Each structure stands twice: as C-alpha cells, then as structure tokens.
Amino acid sequence: MLAGDLGLEPGARKYAQRCMELRRRLRSGRPLLGAWCVIPDSFTAELIGRAGYDWACLDMQHGMIREEHLGPMLQALQLTGTPALVRVPWNEPGRLMKALDAGAEGVIVPMIDSPEDAERAVQACRYPPSGNRSWGPIRAALGVSDYSPATANESVVVTLMIETVGAVQTLDQILSVPGVDAVYVGPQDLSLTHGLRPTPTATEPGHIELIRSVLEACHRHEVVPGLFCGDLASATEWRRRGFRLTNILSDSQLLRQGAAHQVQSLAHVELGQLNSSTEEIRR
C-alpha cells in the first residue's frame, strides 16, 4: 500500500487525475525504468522525456543542477508527460519544500540514517495535519483551481535513500514511518559505508546481500523498492528479483559512453578503408 492513498471528496479528483501520474504508475505494480538527469539543461531534460522513460530524477545532490535550472527542467519533462522526482542535496525541509513548490511529483531524500530522519523528510513533504510543509505551491498549483492540502498530500511521492550503516540497522523502523512511499538504494554509498569498494554494480557477496536485505524489508512493509544500476545486466537481474524502480547510469554517463563508442569504433579504420566503404554505400 502506498502511504499517500487517502480518501478524497469527488470534487477534489480533478487535481489528482492531472498530477498523480507517478503515483498511478506505482500503483500499477509494474516495474518502472527511470532516467537520472545530472546535466543542467531543459533541452536535455526534454530529450530524456521523449525517450519513453517511466519517470525521471533531477539530481541536485551530485548532479550539476541548481535551483535556477529546476523550473525549466520540470517544465520540459511535464511537456513530455514524464513524471519527475527531484533528489535534493540533503534532508533539509526548505530544500524539499522548494522542489515540490516548483512542481516535482515527488522527492528522493539522500543519506537517511534513522527513523527520525525519515520522519523529518515525510513531515516536510506533506501539509498539516499530515506534516509541516509550508503553504506556497507557486508552480505546483499553477493553473490548478482545485489544488488543496489533501490532494497535494495524496499525490506526493516520498522516496528515501538507503545507503548507510544506520539505515540498514534501523531499516524496519524507517520503513514503518507513515508517509514513506518508496526507497532507493544508493549502491555506491551503501558499499562505501560498509567498508567495501564503492561501485554501482554489486559483485561482492557482502554488497549483494546488503541490497537483497533492503529488497526483502520493502516487501515486508509494502514499500516500493528502487535501485540505481550501473549497467543493463544489473538492472535486468535486480528487476527480476523484485526491484520496481530502476535506472541505468545518468544522462552524462550515457552521453559519454555513446560518444566514446563512436570514437573507438572508427579509431582503427584507415582512410582507404573508409573511402572504400563510402564508395560501396554510394553504389
């Protein structure tokens, strides 16, 4: 069950139908592939949105995205119908509220270390009486005549990152906090904080076991599990195991890999060979 599944009066459904696309997709139970945006550009965000991803994350923690980029990038994703999450730099109420006011459907909160951290994040994302979010939905409510605390509280998706020793030790308590909709495993910080080599693709048995323990806890508490994946094989394997939210690298990494592949593919081709190929194409 998703934390925000609250009862609404019939008249409040207009907003919910327009702004609850991400929650609707989560309710479907199917696996969802996301994009991870770190390049601070609205055109890049639009390209990502038109690629067909189920959702996209705008990464303000490790990406180059700052507050002045957030509005245009959210507009670009909204243009393509792609639900957007914002990974905030830290678990600070002001950062969380700012991202939601700008129009994000939800947030990803890094370095959650305790149930108290989880409660702090959830409270900042929902209006009273469910939380302490300040009223000021400057873009979130733009053009939405029936925007209200109740509809906003139902639509928002709160995702917590599990990537520290403290989070693993108190995982059941964290996932029991009312208002937690999903978790996202940060595999590199998860391995680093447990004394392992930081890597996006788990190969060490201890690293694999840590990720598996998070997945099992999510199933126990009916919280949507998510994982940052380093390659297609890893994403395929963990999806089969039950992770419903996955992404494969970031937009900058995909761009770099694609460019490098082009360069490397032609690096060994001599001029004569290239000309012969060109002549064959012309014929």
Active site residues per annotation: 62
CB atoms within 10 A of CB 85: 26
CA dihedral over 23, 26, 28, 33, signed as positive or negative = positive
Encoded tokens for 211: 């990720």
Alpha-carbon distances, residue 228 vs 76, 102, 138, 158, 162 (angstroms): 23, 24, 31, 17, 11
**SS3 call for 225:** strand
Residue 89 preceded by cis peptide, ω within 30 = no
User: Which candidate, 46, 80, 92, 34, places its Cα nearest to that of 235?
Assistant: 34
Our measurement of the distance from residue 70's CA atom to the centroid of its chain's CA atoms, rounded to an integer in Å, reads 15
CB 225 within 8 A of CB 243: yes
The Cα–Cα gap between 90 and 96 comes to 9
> Backbone dihedral region of 279: left (phi > 0), alpha (psi from -120 to 50 degrees) or beta?
alpha
Which amino acid is present at 157? Answer: V
